[in-house]
Amino acid sequence: MTLKAPMLKNVIEAALLAAGRPLSIDELMALFGDDERPDRAQLRKILDKLQSEYDERGITLKEVASGFRIQLKPELANWIGRLWVEKPARYSRAMLETLSLIAYRQPITRGEIEAVRGVSVSPHIIRTLMERGWIRMVGHRDVPGHPELFGTTKEFLDYFSLKSLDDLPALAAIKDIDSLNVELDFDGTGQLLPDMDSPGGAQAVADSGSPADTEDGMLEAQDS
């Protein structure tokens, strides 16, 4: 027999809080036994109800590429960020421009990125973006040398609270690439439970910076 609506909602809310990452509809349905499992339409209604209940609170329910998660509202980042003493690393213009070009023009080769930016792309930048889980190699361009093609990942979408690439803001709306650092200082996900193992290392936790963060092109002070 299907659980009553209040209990279903409590289980789903508790799971989203405890997971520390987005949960898909299938993962949420797998929480329940065969005789108590809601159907997908009912589960969607419960998620909608939770979102409505959070409207006047400091948290929100967000659907991203990997599923649903409970997160802090971005406008609270200025206050909540004070919970973490260490200042996060600010990414260089070179890294932000490289990531933006991959996001908007994927699939794209390193040479094509360099042609747009007018300067060479440090291998450390590509390596760091891949280590963060934000980009991946998606193939090779069918030209002499067969250069690698890069594209963004589901983790990239999750980090920036996007459901799909269609949710990226129009290029015309990005007036200053450095403004992206505001979001990177305190992850837009504002996830309630810190996930220190996430590729960005900033699931509601200010990135304290690892030795790799001092690689060429990473920190603002290193930018050229």
Tokens encoding 15 = 């799971």
- Residue 111: what pLDDT? 95
- Residue 203: what pLDDT? 33
DSSP H helical ranges for the chain: 5-19, 25-29, 40-53, 77-80, 93-105, 110-117, 123-131, 154-159, 180-185
3-class DSSP string for 57-74: CCEEEEEECCEEEEEECH
How do strand 148-152 and strand 135-140 relate by DSSP bridges? Answer: antiparallel
Phi/psi of residue 132, nearest 5 degrees: -70, -15
- Alpha-carbon distance of 78 to 223, in angstroms, equals 26
Tell me the HSE value of 62 on the side-chain side, using a 13 A CA sphere.
26
How do strand 67-72 and strand 59-64 relate by DSSP bridges? Answer: antiparallel
- Residue 69: what pLDDT? 95
- Residue 165: what pLDDT? 93
Question: For the chain, what are the domain ranges?
Answer: 5-78, 93-222
pTM: 0.72
5-78 and 93-222 in the same fold: yes
Matching residue, tokens 């209040």? 6
SS3 212: helix
- What pLDDT, in 10s, does the model give residues 58-104? 999 999 999 999 999 989 988 888 887 776 667 888 999 999 999 99
- In this structure, how many other beta carbons lie within 10 angstroms of the beta carbon of residue 18? 11
Ranges of the chain with pLDDT below 70: 1-2, 87-89, 171-224
Question: What is the distance, to the nearest Å, from the Cα of residue 179 to the centroid of all Cα atoms in its chain?
Answer: 17
Annotate 88-134 with DSSP letters as a single string. Answer: PPPBPHHHHHHHHHHHHH-SEEHHHHHHHHSSPPPHHHHHHHHHTTS
- Residue 6: what pLDDT? 86
Q: Could you tell me which CATH number the domain at 93-222 has?
A: 1.10.10.10
- What pLDDT, in 10s, does the model give residues 193-206? 333 333 333 333 23
- Residue 4: what pLDDT? 82
Domain with residues 5-78, CATH architecture = Orthogonal Bundle (1.10)
- Residue 10: what pLDDT? 95
Question: What are 140's strand-pairing partners?
Answer: 148
SS3 138: strand
